[in-house]
Structure 1
Amino acid sequence: MPPIRARLVRAKGRVVRALDRVVPAAATAVVHSSPDLDDSVVALLREAPADVPVTVLCRDPRAVARRADALGLPRPRAVPHQSARGWWAYLRSTVAVSTHGLHGCLPRPGRKSTVGLWHGELGKAIGAFAGEGPRHFDWVPVSSPLSRSLRSAEFVLDPALIHVVGSPRQRLLAPGPDRAAAPLPPGRHVVWVPTYRTSVTGAIRTDGDPEALRSELPLDDPRLDALLTRHDATLWFRPHPAADQALPPTGPRVRRATNADLADLGLTFYELLGRADCFVTDYSSVWVDFLLLDRPMVAFCPDLAAFRSGRGLAVEPHEAWFPGPVVTTAAALLDRLDAALADPRTGAEVREHRRAVLHTATADPVAAVWDRVRSEVGR
């Protein structure tokens, strides 16, 4: 973050904190995510308690309403988080639930508290490992003791505030009993989730080697189309929310999987992920959640050396931790993808070991978050 912007963020945080001391809390909660209405927030709103008034803080209330309609959610009360109404909703809330934190992510005074739904575990170096300042949350859900240790170090946070209950977004990997699966094209499905190399929103930065990725990206390669045709498969390519959302040239069996694209199908991203036969990524933490499905995955990392020496990764070596092959060329990716689609048990033993380490939660993560909110609101 540029120094001037960082100073402005800190100054705004101090103003909000001063106001937070004098504005009395009401028995309400606010929920915020970046991007608006992400999958963890969708999972929470599907089971929002009737006895706790909840306001969604967002960039675009109209877009939130459209997304809620497309996903079959009751329209939430949504206000712009940087508006006077958004500030007031935050200041009056007893609990603020957020993926990234609000208003500097500082401790709230008195009986007000925060829940931190960070959007992933064990991916890129973040927080203190990326030279950022501490983030304060009073209650953070994670999936394993290892994630608790890392989150504590990333946010400079007391590990006693971090709880191994799983993450709400993980609930969307399987449709609930009252939600029918949305129709998808027939056949099998591959989901590909690269992280950004150059961000265009939020903190503007470049990680890894964008040209190395572009030069090896096989989305319009006839060999990929032949492979997908042979396995009767569709490849869903999801640009990182911070990256340019335009697709590079693609073949006929490749489809884009942004939130807007999937909302047209009545799906969230994690609902699509739950129906994937194979998963491709690089350094995205989504692979940790995909482990719950026990299906093959491949890491495509043409710029591994550059990413490792620059941004860095949360757990190393990446080749040892990732529960599948890590490849650096398009040819190797196609070979490994072919093997994974041919035999879903490919790599099962490695996945079993990683799952035993990275998923030890036995709680219902959505219920755990709402239990925390209720307990704070009811105090």
Structure 2
Amino acid sequence: MKSRRRPWRRRVADSVVVLLDRLTASRPWVVLHSSPDLDDSTVALLRGAPRQIEMIVLAEDPGAARSRVAALGLDVRIVSRRSVRGMLSYLRSRVVVTTHGVFGARPRPRGKQVVGLWHGEFGKLIGTFTGEAPRHFDWVPVSSTLSRTSRVAEFAIDPDRVHVVGSPRQALLRGREAVRARLGVSGPLVVYAPTYRSAVRGMPRADGDEARLAAEQPWQRADLRQLLADSGATVWVRPHPSADQASLPSGPGVELARNPDLERLGVTFYELLAAADCFVTDYSSLWVDFVLVDRPLLAFCPDLESFRADRGLALEPHEAWFPGPVLTTGDDLVAALAEALAGADPHAERRTRTRALLHADVAGEPVAATWAYVSWVLGHLPTGGAA
């Protein structure tokens, strides 16, 4: 598949950024940027950051980002990415830690480096598989040798730049009881996190069959409401950041798990996952991380065939890789959820086998490993730029 050609204005702007980056001397500080702002890997890194490292977070929405860091008890400078100060912070940084790239995704000059924290492993086809241009990262953490192979192909980067150390966001999948206490949860907690079908943010695209998903949506069904009431369970619904945030399920037993909703409780989404008794998703890469907590997983995929045809999946066949039932109707989902809430766990052995394939037995911690590399760059690479 051919790469999408960028508009000429974008190419000119990119060339200007490259020139300025070459001419600007670096300082021993780190810029962090994610899409969406302050994603869970960024939060995990900020919580585990060495005190001596100077950091700046570039945000698309600085006001919301400041509210988020305050709610999560973090202390970091927030700067608008779209400001002159944001651009200067980037140009002067010796290390950029980013999910998608900042002002592009290209090699930086003379001792300046980019750490790539993509927001997930496996799930939907991404990168070069969907016609996007290659992305350059100097150091990328992943969770397994299988993921390493995939990431190299997705971004067309040197295999020596991809390291099996785990992903920083996975550090937040801990402290289950403390999170449940903060949420005030006593009964079973179910998290539902579908991927988008029609993207309203970022790159515009439509995958799968949104009408089919809506027709089978079970959260308004009387039998599911009764199941939640009888079991004392609560479903927390997490919309994809690219999806419409307005048309969401509501009512007794259903809570919303958007970032502002969780910030009011002082938790992140991965911490909510840590507290979950069961996780329902579809094609999202979130399930790959959730196998680390070793609790039931359900895949709700009413539009599986159309999604395969439109977007494609990284691990196929999905029914063989997903360590739980792949469900295509609301009736099937209600039945499987009733089984999980009753304590049945018929897919525990499959999860164990899948976890062994998708997560290496890594010595050390992903947050510490990432900061160790950043610290080495700050202390050993020469000052970049000609200024």
The question of a shared fold, defined as TM-score above 0.5 by the shorter chain, is answered with: yes
Contact preservation (8 Å) 2:4, 2:132? no
**By how many angstroms is 1:227 displaced?**
1.3
Distance 2:159 2:366 in 1: 18
Q: TM-score, normalised by structure 1?
A: 0.96
Letter of the 1:191 counterpart: V
1:372/1:102 Cα in 2 relative to 1: closer, same or farther (>3 Å)? same
Q: Deviations over 1:58-77 (max 9, x none)?
A: 11222212111111222x11
Distance 1:238 1:252 in 2: 16
1:94/1:378 Cα in 2 relative to 1: closer, same or farther (>3 Å)? same
SS at match of 1:355: helix
> Hey, what does 1:222 align to over in structure 2?
222
**Alignment partner of 1:17 is 2:18:** yes
**Alignment partner of 1:343 is 2:343:** yes
Contact preservation (8 Å) 2:29, 2:378? yes
Distance 1:256 1:314 in 2: 28
**Alignment partner of 1:377 is 2:378:** yes
> Hey, what does 1:291 align to over in structure 2?
291
Contact preservation (8 Å) 2:179, 2:271? no
SS at match of 2:28: coil
1:73/1:179 Cα in 2 relative to 1: closer, same or farther (>3 Å)? farther
> Hey, what does 1:70 align to over in structure 2?
71
Letter of the 1:237 counterpart: V
Q: TM-score, normalised by structure 2?
A: 0.94
Contact preservation (8 Å) 2:98, 2:117? yes
Letter of the 1:14 counterpart: S
1:46/1:235 Cα in 2 relative to 1: closer, same or farther (>3 Å)? same
Distance 1:13 1:369 in 2: 27
Letter of the 1:91 counterpart: L
Alignment of 1:153-302 (within 5 A): 153-175=153-175, 182-302=182-302
Contact preservation (8 Å) 2:180, 2:186? no
Give identity over the alignment, percent.
Answer: 55
Distance 1:62 1:374 in 2: 29
What residue ranges of structure 2 are gaps of 5+ in the alignment? 381-387
SS at match of 1:345: coil
Distance 2:8 2:321 in 1: 37
**By how many angstroms is 1:180 displaced?**
9.4
> How big is the alpha-carbon RMSD for the aligned residues of Structure 1 and Structure 2?
1.9
1:336/1:112 Cα in 2 relative to 1: closer, same or farther (>3 Å)? same
Alignment of 1:291-370 (within 5 A): 291-343=291-343, 345-360=345-360, 361-370=362-371
Letter of the 1:118 counterpart: W
1:374/1:331 Cα in 2 relative to 1: closer, same or farther (>3 Å)? same
> Hey, what does 2:83 align to over in structure 1?
83
Q: More displaced, 150-159 or 182-191?
A: 182-191
Distance 1:257 1:156 in 2: 34
> Hey, what does 2:384 align to over in structure 1?
none
Distance 1:282 1:312 in 2: 13
Q: More displaced, 25-34 or 180-189?
A: 180-189
1:257/1:220 Cα in 2 relative to 1: closer, same or farther (>3 Å)? same
Count matched residues: 378
**By how many angstroms is 1:363 displaced?**
2.6
**By how many angstroms is 1:183 displaced?**
2.8
Contact preservation (8 Å) 1:219, 1:248? no
